Structure 1
Amino acid sequence: MNSAVVEGGKTGKSKGGGGLGRALVIGAAFVAGAAAGGVGGAIGASRLLPAAGGHAVAEAAAAPVEYVEIDNAFTSNLVDTGRYLQVRLSVATTGGGPVVAAIGKHKPALISAVLSVLGELSEIDVADRPAKDKLRTRLKDAVNETLRSRGQVPGIDEVFFTSLVVQ
């Protein structure tokens, strides 16, 4: 493609594609790219702008974690031994106030569910870290199922041992 070029006041044909046309195409591409990036940036920023009710919209932000101590020492005999297990637990939730309130409201049922799980354990179930991690998952599932069975949101994300003794 040849384009008209002005050189020293004279009009002529350029050889090799023309600098002005190429510059215009590159400039137009730059403007289009910047506009597209600006739209993407505006969409991303809109997630952090206040919504109509004055609350910030933050889809990517996770809910804060709340830790709730289950104020009870759980003691249970280990199956087929003369040994016993004693644990204290905390739970973590990102479910907010409703889940924290449900934990307090249904504490006797939660204690019973935890004791039921502990009553099925043998020494191998608390022998090493992987076994204890499996136990934490079993306890989390038991607590969530207990909350669910009572019409509550099963919002326990993790269970933590705050004390664990095998004797």
Structure 2
Amino acid sequence: MSVLVLGDSHLARVGPALVAQLPDATVRAFGGAVATDFATQVDGLDLAAYDVVVVSIGTNDAGWREVPLDVFTREIEALVARVPGRVVLVTSPGADEVRAQGWSNARLTEFARSAAAHVAAARGTVIDTPSLLAPLGPDAFLDDGFHLTSAAYDLLLPTIARATA
């Protein structure tokens, strides 16, 4: 199964570990990415060559980059329309608001719900990352309050692998 991985640091930081779970994966995700970066991430690729496109996006959009929700939504819609295969959305995991000053879980959830609605409407798969990581509580996050710990990835990466099967 050929998999393309797009999005932000939540997947870029674990590219090699993700490829170990998904041997035929191409990782184009990068830290700080927002939905308007999809065009750069897929530049030069034939999306029809991929059975599944995994996307982790929304944290930077709703957080420090402050992308307007309508722009974010338009970019999600455009990506979903361009992908001939299945899309797997890894929703924003949220943040530990105590450590991630200025980040709002309400806003992160709003962006996640918007993306999830469009991916689900296209018969894609949505991974509800906050629910998946909830048993870890604040231990899901590094000291910055929004990047994930290895314990969080121990839950997330196998879930992504199952979702792409």
Q: Same fold (TM over 0.5)?
A: no
Structure (1/2) with the larger strand percentage: 1
Q: Shorter chain as normaliser: what TM range? A: under 0.3
TM-score by length of 1: 0.23
Structure (1/2) with the larger helix percentage: 2
TM-score by length of 2: 0.23
Larger of the two Rg values belongs to structure: 1
